[in-house]
Structure 1
Amino acid sequence: MATLTVNFKNNSGLPDNLVSIGFVSGSTSAPFSISYPDPNLTQPLELEIQPLNQTKGAGNWYSLTDLSNGISISNFSGRIYVAYGQTWSVLNAGYEPAQNITDVNFFLRYDKMELTFNGNPADVADLTSIDYWSIPMQLETFLNGVSVQTDNGIKTGKTAEMIYSQLSAITTPPQSGLQNAIAAVVPGSFQQAPTQPGTGFARIIGPSSYPPIGGVPIIPYALFSNYIDYLIQDFGPGTTSGQVIPGLGNGTIATIAGHFNGVGPNVPTTGPQSAQSYNFTASVNSSGDITLTGTVGSVTGTTTIVYKKSDLISPSGIYGANAPFSINGGASQNPANDVYGWITGDLLAGFNIGAIASATKINSVQVGTMESSKWFTLPDTSLFNNLQQNSLYYNQYAAILQQLSDAYNFAYSDRFSPVLVSLDPSTVNTLQVSLFNVTTSS
């Protein structure tokens, strides 16, 4: 059976006993097999790691003092949490902290990475800042001591202070226009050293982590309502087709088209999880609702998919990649792992990077005229402010992180640039996770 050795390198400035690690499985039914050498024995005895949030209480946290000789993973798919100073407590079985001021763990400093290892060639790890940004990390893989691949939470030549200050600036003052919105920086009071920027620093919350509009805390990031209003004004019903961008106008805002490769190693031959092509015209109405009209390979006739503006501008919508939709007038549903989820991903990714109705020319072709699948061939340096001059017409949070970090910055980062580190056991047998301080460069 293949195993993966994971070592933790502490560059945080904190002593090992104040840096804690916890393991949260992505599924209660998935295999979970992680062990570590007993640090108190001369002849190491392998001890079994327990899931962090299995039962209510303090949680199964392991300090770096315990894990000084690393861990050995045989089967695990989920999140590895890191906490500086005080660890978050488990409020109930299966709990993970909510980015909400009513959560008792809200003001603590923690972060996470994601990893899947079951001894398969497709196994991967990644850094993610989609939900929030807090603890800078670095992933580096090795085969028999030789470095294979590196994923930098802070890109070479950049600093964590750059990330902190630039992310902080886009919600100070708040841009959402909603009453009582506050900056996305979470101050806190907890044991840590050295002193962080601000009066204690826990996290900067990403735009997708806020509750629905009307909830607390109130999202301070710019809402995509400005982008949608622009689409209505310049390309909505009654405007002249082709006046601004060829093929767009009189409601038409994009072409959502491409090929879905299907789901799983044994792809079904029929149904929404089968491999198939799709071709839709995206249009906006005067209310800002988006409608896709066209064809899906597995379905006979015309298919219509509708996204309401209120759902798109909600934090879970365009930002969170989970905007609900209805198909052919049916009940509202959320994106799933099927062709409709993939199509939705095209549309929402287009909003996030600013590709929809972009007049920018790449290789003499205006991006707004491209089929959506072509957007994913664009260089990652050509996205965001290179596609739209108005900063309200793309995901500002993702745009900043894209320049400074290799981590996931929004849900579809991997469609545009490599953010995954391979854990193929034929080419990798060790993963090193380096942990940094917010004022430290990797």
Structure 2
Amino acid sequence: MANGFDPAKGARLEPKIAELVARRDRALGPSYRLFYDEPVALASASGLELVGIDGRTYLDAYNNVPVIGHSHPAVTAAVSTQLQTLNTHTRYITESILDYSERLLGHFPAPLERVTYTCTGSEAIDLAVRIARHRTGRRGLIISEHAYHGTTVTAAGMSPSLGPNNPLGTDVVTIPSVDTAATPADQVGAKLAADVRAAAAQLEESGAGVAAVVLDSILSSDGVQTHPLGFLQPAEAVVRELGALWIADEVQPGFGRTGTWWGFERHGIVPDLVVLGKPMGNGMPIAAVVGTLDAQASFGAEVRYFNTFAGNPVSIAAATAVLDVIEGDELVSHAAAMGTRLLDGLQELVQSHESAQHARGAGLFAALDLGTPTSPDPELAARVVNGMRQSGVLISASGPAAASLKIRPPLPISSAQCDQIVETLDAVLMEVERAR
């Protein structure tokens, strides 16, 4: 696991932290993991700032779930009011879910016209796969080789980034991770399309056929691959030729993070199904599948789907507040502007640090590769991530080699906070490089 706490390394923890880790190990399931060599214990949060139990403040430059910032008063008020009024399920008629759905669909291109709610992104991925398999009559799924799509049996079986002891599902085939730093820009799209075609041939030969290609629209776990614009189009053309569906996982790039409402928009494609996750409710349990009627019609007519509290009025209230804030505060254009500032700063670090190799980003989703041009350095990335944590800025690492710094702050970040990320990273890189 990139950026994971390993107690076997013998880190010296503050007594209170050590006590909490011990209690956690006794009470919680053994599969849980913590971030950082020295885990962060939190007491409160507001905006982009997290406050530890020791009173120390951290700048959150990593958490995409509170998309409009931690503890946002608009979400707090909406949830509190609705919880005192009504909370039930979608087998009763409530007007708020219709109001929200119409607003949400208004941010999608016209063919994407129906929404089905779930509680988590993992459930939404699972549902999208069921719809695709029913629509096509085929079983095969094509994913990227370091993808993360969730934690249900189906979603985990499409998440090779969970590690070697997490087996892929039956009829799931991976394609090589896109590497836009090492591939000439004019070859990225063609290579991806060729890889999809080769995976499809493998699935056809097995008899599974291709039901869907499922890609995170920014390939986050594959190292955050943002450019060139349009590089997904040739692969989409292959999917159309195969009669399969394109499922866009927008849990991480969606809701304005990339400087556009949806990550797929940047590439000029229109998926058949789009998966949304907890950022749509700023962390409240709400997620969804948005899709074309053609993709969903046969599943809807022939299969009964019901998820007891998916789309409940309290979660819808939270999601409505998120839309209010994103629209009212113009956070999509703000993300684009702040992302340009952040990326400019990261590119300056590439010029000034020998170990910083390639910076890329789209809106407030950025990455910086560490190592040499031919040898990514996950150990260096881990040292930098932990150095940033010690300096009060929280980021993480990504990519097949875990050597790409992953920077993904909530959308209301200020220009001063963007500068703080870059300045802190500059200082940490200098310190780590001197120590080598």
If the length of structure 2 is used for normalisation, what is the TM-score?
0.26
The structure where helix makes up a greater share of residues is 2
If the length of structure 1 is used for normalisation, what is the TM-score?
0.26
**Larger-gyration structure (1/2):** 1
The structure where strand makes up a greater share of residues is 1
